[in-house]
């Protein structure tokens, strides 16, 4: 039985290579249902969710990691986020039909970069920009690791309506491991073996079956699963801050026009409402702060 909504780490003994496997179902479906978009857009969302969760896990971030592609194309927005608590959320937005589904990501999004934001909750979030190159998200993200982490990394991603899955392999620098690896060809050998995985196998086989199918001649150490779940990080407090950033006069204009300010979260459809009393309190609390500081 395939394990769902879980991420697994594994090590390949006697080599500098580590890996991760992810399988998302309920969490993926939640994001998928929230996004009113075509098949290609949803496939990209599934790939991005798996990749973002793998990235957040392998980089051992303490906070959240967000992947964003924003452009003028038929698919104009893709945002996925994973946290250190293994919670994920994501959305994709499409404004018109994709003329050529075989086109490059650059053409589909009419964008030239992926923005990766790592927010540890202290100080300014760290942003990395990756060129939106290659024919799929895996290739573009592999370039991110080359560039920013200097760790050779390969990703295999697959998704259908019920699941989104992924496999990541990463070669650690020799200096980071105590044992000397004489198996110098291991990276080529393991990535070639991993490249034989089909989307269907990645989606349907469980972690043991996948590792056996690919690496049955290697000695693999598989660690316990960590559960992944959908959880939105929106809150009334964050929405209040957003209204504060609009400024008092704009907020009051909306109140005059609509009677209340209603903000809905695109990731989870939660609705936050603020009436005139709420809005008055929001701006009073700003004035009461000594240095007019707002928190994020």
Q: Residue numbers of the site for Zn ion (CB under 5 A)?
A: 232, 234, 265, 267-268, 270
Of 31 and 141, the one with the shorter C-beta distance to Zn ion is 31
Min. distance of Cβ 89 from Zn ion in angstroms?
7
Taking the complex as a whole, how short is the minimal distance between the CB of residue 27 and Zn ion, in angstroms?
14
Separation of alpha carbons 40 and 258, rounded Å = 37
Residue number, 2 or 238, with CB nearest to Zn ion: 238
Query: Shortest distance, CB of residue 211 to Zn ion, whole angstroms?
Result: 35
Beta-bridge partners for 126: 118
Of 58, 2, 51, nearest in space to 26 by CA:
2
> Residue 237 CB, nearest distance to Zn ion (Å)?
12
Q: Phi/psi at 38 (nearest 5 deg)?
A: -75, 180
Which residue lies nearer to Zn ion by CB, 211 or 243?
243
Nearer to Zn ion, 208 or 264 (CB): 264
Instruction: Select 40 or 265, whichever has its Cβ closest to Zn ion.
Output: 265
Shorter beta-carbon distance to Zn ion: residue 32 or 109: 32
> Min. distance of Cβ 31 from Zn ion in angstroms?
11
Shortest reach from residue 262's CB to Zn ion, in Å: 14
């Amino acid at each position: 039985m395939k394990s769902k909504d879980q991420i697994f780490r594994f090590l390949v003994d006697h080599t500098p290579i580590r890996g991760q496997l992810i399988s998302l179902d309920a969490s993926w479906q939640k994001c998928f249902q929230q996004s009113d978009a075509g098949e290609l857009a949803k496939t990209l969302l599934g790939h991005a969710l798996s990749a973002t969760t793998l990235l957040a896990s392998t980089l051992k971030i303490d906070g959240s990691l967000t992947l964003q592609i924003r452009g003028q194309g038929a698919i104009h927005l893709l945002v996925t986020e994973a946290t250190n608590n293994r919670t994920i959320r994501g959305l994709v937005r499409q404004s018109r039909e994709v003329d050529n589904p075989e086109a490059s990501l650059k053409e589909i999004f009419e964008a030239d970069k992926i923005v990766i934001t790592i927010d540890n909750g202290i100080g300014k979030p760290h942003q990395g920009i990756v060129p939106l190159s290659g024919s799929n998200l895996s290739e573009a993200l592999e370039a991110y690791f080359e560039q920013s982490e200097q760790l050779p990394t390969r990703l295999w991603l697959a998704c259908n309506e019920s699941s989104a899955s992924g496999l990541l392999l990463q070669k650690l620098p020799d200096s980071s491991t105590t044992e000397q690896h004489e198996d110098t060809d291991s990276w080529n050998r393991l990535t070639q073996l991993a490249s034989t995985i089909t989307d269907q196998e990645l989606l349907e086989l469980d972690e043991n079956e996948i590792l056996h199918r690919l690496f049955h001649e290697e000695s693999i150490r598989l660690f316990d699963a960590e559960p992944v779940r959908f959880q939105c990080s929106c809150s009334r407090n964050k929405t209040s801050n957003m209204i504060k950033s609009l400024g008092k006069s704009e907020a009051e204009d909306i109140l005059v026009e609509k009677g209340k300010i209603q903000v809905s979260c695109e990731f989870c459809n939660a609705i936050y409402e603020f009436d005139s009393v709420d809005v008055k309190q929001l701006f009073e609390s700003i004035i009461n702060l000594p240095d007019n500081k707002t928190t994020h």
